[in-house]
Amino acid sequence: MPTLRIALAQVNSTVGDIRGNAASVRRWSREAADAGAHLVAFPEMMLTGYPIEDLVFRNSFVEASRSALRALAADLAADGLGELAVVVGYVDADGPPAISADAVPGSGRRDASALLHRGEVVATYYKHHLPNYGVFDENRYFEPGDTLTVVRLGTADVALTVCEDIWQAGGPFTAARRAGVGLVVNINASPYELNKDDVRLALVQRRAVEAGAAVAFVNMIGGQDELVFDGDSMIVSASGELLARTGQFAEALLVHDLDLPEATDTPPAAEHGDGMRISRVVTAGDLAALTDRREGGIADRVSDEEEIWSALVLGLHDYVNKNGFRSVVFGLSGGIDSAVVAAIAVDALGPERVVGVSLPSGFSSDHSKDDAADLAKRTGLDYRTEPIQAMVDGFLANMSLSGLAVENLQARVRGVILMALSNQEGHLVLTTGNKSELAVGYSTLYGDSVGGFNPLKDVPKTMVWQLARWRNTRPGTPPIPENSITKAPSAELRPDQKDSDSLPDYEILDPIIKGYVDQDLGRDQLVAAGNDPALVDRTLRMIDLAEYKRRQSAPGTKISGKAFGRDRRLPITNLFREGQAV
C-alpha cells in the first residue's frame, strides 16, 4: 500500500496578477517540498485568480495563462522542485468562446487543472460541472469537460477534479469509482457564506463514499470584490472519515500522509451513467521514501460571530490592498454602524491607515459626538471633526428647501466632504449602511450611500449589534463604546429623530427582509410565517421601490446565501407587486 504525502496550499491569489500568482505557487511549492510532500495542490484558477469574469473572452488573457503555466513548470524544475507533483488551476482554451460567432460545439474556454512534473505539463483536466446559480455564471464563460484525468504517481492513482465537480452527484466522482482511483484531488474557489463549512464537510464525505476514494479538498482564501474565500481545506478518507482540516481565513499548508490502495492496470468498469471518458497518465519515477509520519491535524471550528468578523476583515483588507489604496476614510457618527465599520477597518488595516471624520450638524447630539471621539481614542485611528452646519446653511440661503429635502441635504454635504478628502489625500471612502437599510431604501443617494466599498452591505442591523458585542469581548481594549451599542439608532437629521419613526423594529424587520430577499418567499408565505400582513405589505413595497438605489450602491463583502449584488438580480423597472391581483 503506497503512502502519498500530500500538501494542500490554501493560499490567496489575485485576479489578473498572473506573475505574482505564479511566484506564490513557486514559494509554497518550496515549502511543500521541504515538508517532504510528493504532491501539492493549489486552488482553482490559481494562476489567473478567480473569478475572472469577462477577462476570459480576451485571447490575450487566455494566452497569458497558458504561457504562464508552461513557464511555471520549467521554473519549478529550475528551482529544484521537478520531482514534486504540482496541481494548479488556470484558464485554458481549445477554441473560441461559446458567445463567439466562430464558436465550435464542444470546444471553447476551459476552467482547467494541470499537473506539473519534471518541468512539463504532464496532465490536464477540464471542469465538468459548471455552476450557473448565485454568484456563478460559468455557462456563460466555459465549456464543460467530458474526460476524467487519472494520474499515476508511483503506484497510486489520483484523479483530478475542480470545484463544482464535488457539489453535484455523478460525473467525475462516479467515474473515479469506475476508474478505481485511490485519491480524488478537488481544487476550489468556493466563496464564503455563514456556516458553509458545515455544508462542505458533509459534501466531501458524500463524494468520498461515492468515489470509493479519499478526497483532498483545497480551497483558496482572500477577498475579490464582493466575494471572500475562507479556505477550510480538508482531507477525507474513502469511508468518509475526516482526516485533516485547516482553519479559515488564513493562508496555510496542510500536509498529511495518506495510505492509498495499490493501483492496478485492470480496465475500468463499463460506463454507469457518469457520461465521462477516462484518460490515464503515468508520471516518471517512484515516490520518495518517507522516514516519518505526518498528520495534518484538524483545526477547531469558530463561532458564527468570529467567522463573519473574519470574513469582513479579510474582505476589506484585500479590497483596499489589491486595489492599491493606502488608507480609508468614513463618517464616524457615534452610531452603531459607523462604530462597527471603524473596528473592522482598524482590524483589517491598522489604525494608522484609518481616518474617521465626525461631521456634526445642528441636530447632532452631544452623546453622538462624544461616542465618536471615545471610539477614536479606543482604537487609535486618525480622528477629525468637520462641522457641516455652515455649509448646509449656505445651501439653504440660496434654495428654498424643507422637510425630507433638508434631511437629505445634510447627508449629501457629508458625502461631498468625504469625497473631497478622498480626492485630496487618496483615501478610499467607506460607506456604512447595513443590509437592512439597503433593503428598504433607508439611505440618501449620494449622501450616506457615498463610498467605494461597504463592509456592512450584507450584514443585517440586528447582526451589526451582535458583532459589536462579540468584538468587545476579544482581548484588548473594547473598540466600541457601550453607548453606541445600547442607544436607539438615529440618523439625527431632524430633532429627536429615531429609526423607529420610519421603520419597524429591526428585530421584526430583519426576518421579513431575510425571507423576501435571501429566500425568495412571497407575501403569503411571509404572512403564514406569523408576520403582520400590513407590515409585510409595507416592507415589501419599500424593498421593491429601492432597487434603483441598490443598483448604484458600493460593493461589499458577501456573507449570506444571497447578498445584494451579483447573486440577486432584479429589474429596476418592475411593476409586479406581491399580493396584487393578476
pLDDT digits (tens, 9 = 90+) for 259-280: 999 988 876 665 566 789 999 9
pLDDT at 120: 96
pLDDT at 385: 95
Residue 225 has pLDDT above 70, yes or no: yes
Find residue 88's DSSP bridge partners.
Answer: 114
Work out the end-to-end distance of the chain between its first and last CA atoms, rounded to an integer number of angstroms. Answer: 67
C-alpha cell at 131: 455552476
Q: Is the peptide bond before 51 cis (omega within 30 degrees of 0)?
A: yes
pLDDT at 567: 86
Q: Which amino acid is at 552?
A: Q
Q: Span 330-358, mean pLDDT?
A: 96
Cβ-based neighbour number of residue 408 at 10 Å: 18
Q: How far are the Cα atoms of 175, 263, 354 from residue 279, in angstroms, in the given order?
A: 11, 15, 54
- Tens digits of residue pLDDT in 338-350: 999 999 999 999 9
DSSP 53: G
Q: Among 217-221, 294-298, 508-512, 570-574, which is the least confidently predicted range?
A: 570-574
Q: Which residue has the higher pLDDT, 97 or 526?
A: 526
**Buried residues in 519-539 as b, exposed as e (16+ CB within 10 A):** eebebeebbeeebeeeebbbb
Residue 407 has pLDDT above 90, yes or no: no
pLDDT at 271: 57
**Gap between the Cα atoms of 88 and 52, Å rounded:** 16
Query: CA-CA-CA-CA torsion for 385, 389, 394, 397, nearest 10 degrees?
Result: 180
- What's this model's pTM, rounded to 2 decimal places? 0.94
pLDDT at 206: 96
- Tens digits of residue pLDDT in 142-197: 899 999 999 999 999 999 999 999 999 889 999 999 999 999 999 999 999 999 98
In a 3-state reduction of DSSP, which class is residue 528?
helix
Instruction: Give the chain's largest Cα–Cα span.
Output: 89
Q: Which amino acid is at 154?
A: G
Owner of C-alpha cell 404572512? 527
Find residue 4's DSSP bridge partners.
Answer: 258
**Gap between the Cα atoms of 481 and 483, Å rounded:** 5
pLDDT at 272: 61
77 contacts 38 by C-beta, under 8 angstroms: no
Q: How far is CA 29 from the centre of its chain?
A: 24
- Tens digits of residue pLDDT in 74-90: 999 999 999 999 999 99
pLDDT at 178: 93
**Gap between the Cα atoms of 131 and 29, Å rounded:** 29
- Tens digits of residue pLDDT in 440-488: 999 888 988 999 999 999 999 999 999 999 999 999 999 999 999 998 8
- Tens digits of residue pLDDT in 510-524: 999 999 999 999 999
**Gap between the Cα atoms of 212 and 174, Å rounded:** 9
Q: Which residue has the higher pLDDT, 367 or 474?
A: 474
Strand order in the sheet with 85-93: 120-126, 109-117, 85-93, 39-41, 3-10, 252-259
C-alpha cell at 514: 431575510
What does the radius of gyration of the chain's CA atoms come to, in whole angstroms? 26
> Which residues are annotated as catalytic?
44, 127, 163
Q: Among 25-29, 105-109, 244-248, which is the least confidently predicted range?
A: 105-109
